[in-house]
Chains A and B, each alone.
Chain A
Amino acid sequence: MVVTFPHMGNIYLAVKALFDDLDIDYIIPPPNTKASLQKGSFYSPEEICLPFKLFMGNIIQAIESGADTVLITGSCGPCRFGEYSELASIVLREMGHDLDFIVLDLSKDVGVDGFLRRISKITRDVPMSRTQKVRTVLNAAALMAKIDQLEARAHILAGYEKNAGDCKRILHQALARGLECVGSEEIGEAISAAQNEIERIPIDLEKDPLRVAIIGEIYTVIEPFSNLYIEDLFMDYGVCVKRHMTPSWWLRDLVMKPLKLNSLDLRRSSREYLPLYIGGHGRECVGEAVKAWQEGMDGAIQILPMGCMPEIVAKAILPQIQNDKDFPILTLIVDEMTGREGYITRIEAFLDMLKKRRERYRGGSFSTGILSGINSKRHGYNRSVRKKYGEM
Chain B
Amino acid sequence: MRMRIGIPKGLLFPDFGGLFESFFLELGQDIAVSPDTNRRILDLGVGCCVDEACLPVKVFHGHVCWLRDNGDCDMIVIPRFMHLRENESICPKFCGLPEMVKYSVPGLPPIIGVPIDWSSAQGLRAWARAVASYLGCAKSDAYSALHAAVSKHNEVAQGYTVLSEPNRQSSRRDGLDGQSRATELAAPSRLSELTGSRKLENLTVSSNREFRIALLGHPYNVQDAFLNMNVAQKLARLGAAIVTDASVSETDVNREVASLFKKPFWTLARYSYGAAKHLYRTDAVDGIVYVSSFACGIDSVVVELIRDATDGLPLLVLKVDEHTGEAGIDTRLEAFTDLLRRRKTFGSNIPAYGKYISRGESAI
Contact surface of A with B, Cβ cutoff 8 Å:
45-49, 74, 76-80, 82-83, 85-87, 89-91, 94, 101, 103, 108-109, 273-274, 276-280, 282, 306-310, 312-317, 319-320, 333
Chain A residues contacting B263 (CB-CB under 8 Å) are 109
Given contacts A45-B301, A307-B297, A317-B103, contact A85 B261 (CB under 8 A): yes
Chain B residues contacting A276 (CB-CB under 8 Å) are 80, 82, 95-96, 115
Chain A residues contacting B297 (CB-CB under 8 Å) are 47, 49, 79-80, 307-309
Stretch at the interface among B84-92, B136-144, B193-201: B84-92
Measured CB to CB, the nearest residue on chain A to B82 is A276
Q: Are B52 and A315 in contact (CB under 8 A)?
A: yes
| A72, B311: Cα distance in complex, Å | 28
Minimal beta-carbon separation of B349 from chain A (angstroms):
21
B265, CB-defined interface residue at 8 Å: yes
Given contacts A108-B87, A315-B52, contact A86 B261 (CB under 8 A): yes
Q: Are A317 and B99 in contact (CB under 8 A)?
A: yes
Give the B interface residue count (CB, 8 A).
38
Minimal beta-carbon separation of A53 from chain B (angstroms):
11
Given contacts A276-B95, A282-B92, contact A312 B300 (CB under 8 A): no
What per-residue 1/0 map shows which CB atoms of B55-86 lie under 8 Å from chain A? 00000000000000000000000001010000
Q: Are A279 and B89 in contact (CB under 8 A)?
A: yes
Chain B residues contacting A277 (CB-CB under 8 Å) are 95
| A67, B57: Cα distance in complex, Å | 42
Q: Are A309 and B87 in contact (CB under 8 A)?
A: no
Given contacts A316-B104, A317-B100, contact A279 B95 (CB under 8 A): yes
Chain A residues contacting B99 (CB-CB under 8 Å) are 273-274, 313, 316-317
Q: Are A313 and B265 in contact (CB under 8 A)?
A: no
Q: Are A282 and B87 in contact (CB under 8 A)?
A: no
Chain B residues contacting A278 (CB-CB under 8 Å) are 92-93, 95-96
Chain A residues contacting B300 (CB-CB under 8 Å) are 45-49, 80, 307
Measured CB to CB, the nearest residue on chain A to B90 is A78
| A309, B304: Cα distance in complex, Å | 18
| A79, B90: Cα distance in complex, Å | 10
Contact surface of B with A, Cβ cutoff 8 Å:
49-50, 52-53, 80, 82, 87-93, 95-96, 99-100, 103-104, 115, 260-266, 295-301, 303-305, 308
Q: Are B262 and A78 in contact (CB under 8 A)?
A: no
| A315, B99: Cα distance in complex, Å | 11
Q: Are B50 and A315 in contact (CB under 8 A)?
A: yes
A–B pairs, 8, beta carbons within 8 Å: A45-B301, A49-B300, A78-B90, A83-B301, A276-B95, A313-B92, A316-B104, A317-B99
Contact of A80 among B90, B100, B301, B303 (CB under 8 A): B301
Q: Are B260 and A307 in contact (CB under 8 A)?
A: no
Minimal beta-carbon separation of A110 from chain B (angstroms):
10
Q: Are A90 and B92 in contact (CB under 8 A)?
A: no
Contact of A90 among B80, B93, B115, B308 (CB under 8 A): B308
Q: Are A86 and B262 in contact (CB under 8 A)?
A: yes
Q: Are A77 and B303 in contact (CB under 8 A)?
A: no
Chain A residues contacting B266 (CB-CB under 8 Å) are 77-78
Chain B residues contacting A306 (CB-CB under 8 Å) are 52, 295
Measured CB to CB, the nearest residue on chain A to B61 is A316
Contact of B295 among A47, A74, A89 (CB under 8 A): A47
Q: Are A48 and B301 in contact (CB under 8 A)?
A: yes
Chain A residues contacting B96 (CB-CB under 8 Å) are 274, 276, 278, 282, 310, 313-314, 316-317
Measured CB to CB, the nearest residue on chain A to B53 is A312
Q: Are A85 and B262 in contact (CB under 8 A)?
A: yes
- 20 A-B pairs besides A49-B297, A87-B305, A307-B295 with CB distance below 8 A are A45-B300, A45-B304, A47-B296, A74-B262, A77-B265, A78-B91, A78-B265, A80-B297, A85-B261, A87-B301, A90-B304, A91-B304, A278-B95, A278-B96, A282-B96, A307-B300, A313-B92, A313-B99, A316-B50, A319-B103
| A273, B80: Cα distance in complex, Å | 15
Chain A residues contacting B80 (CB-CB under 8 Å) are 276
Q: Are A86 and B89 in contact (CB under 8 A)?
A: no
Chain B residues contacting A45 (CB-CB under 8 Å) are 300-301, 303-304
| A276, B92: Cα distance in complex, Å | 11
Chain B residues contacting A103 (CB-CB under 8 Å) are 262
Chain A residues contacting B262 (CB-CB under 8 Å) are 74, 82-83, 85-86, 103
Contact of A316 among B53, B88, B89 (CB under 8 A): B53
Measured CB to CB, the nearest residue on chain B to A310 is B92
| A45, B295: Cα distance in complex, Å | 12
Minimal beta-carbon separation of A27 from chain B (angstroms):
22
| A308, B96: Cα distance in complex, Å | 14
Closest 4 CB pairs of A and B: A313-B96, A77-B265, A47-B300, A278-B95
| A74, B295: Cα distance in complex, Å | 22
| A76, B53: Cα distance in complex, Å | 22
Q: Are B295 and A316 in contact (CB under 8 A)?
A: no
Chain A residues contacting B303 (CB-CB under 8 Å) are 45
| A80, B300: Cα distance in complex, Å | 9
Minimal beta-carbon separation of B72 from chain A (angstroms):
25
Chain A residues contacting B298 (CB-CB under 8 Å) are 80, 309
Minimal beta-carbon separation of B172 from chain A (angstroms):
15
| A290, B326: Cα distance in complex, Å | 43
Chain A residues contacting B52 (CB-CB under 8 Å) are 306-307, 312, 315, 333
Given contacts A274-B99, A312-B50, A316-B50, contact A76 B87 (CB under 8 A): yes
Measured CB to CB, the nearest residue on chain B to A74 is B262
Minimal beta-carbon separation of B323 from chain A (angstroms):
16
Minimal beta-carbon separation of A69 from chain B (angstroms):
15
| A49, B298: Cα distance in complex, Å | 11
Chain B residues contacting A310 (CB-CB under 8 Å) are 92, 96
Q: Are B92 and A280 in contact (CB under 8 A)?
A: yes
Minimal beta-carbon separation of B44 from chain A (angstroms):
16
Minimal beta-carbon separation of B25 from chain A (angstroms):
28
Measured CB to CB, the nearest residue on chain A to B265 is A77
Q: Are B305 and A86 in contact (CB under 8 A)?
A: yes
| A282, B261: Cα distance in complex, Å | 27
| A319, B89: Cα distance in complex, Å | 27
Chain A residues contacting B115 (CB-CB under 8 Å) are 276
Chain B residues contacting A274 (CB-CB under 8 Å) are 96, 99
Minimal beta-carbon separation of B69 from chain A (angstroms):
20
Residue of B87, B88, B93 contacting most chain A CB atoms (<10 Å): B93
| A190, B242: Cα distance in complex, Å | 65
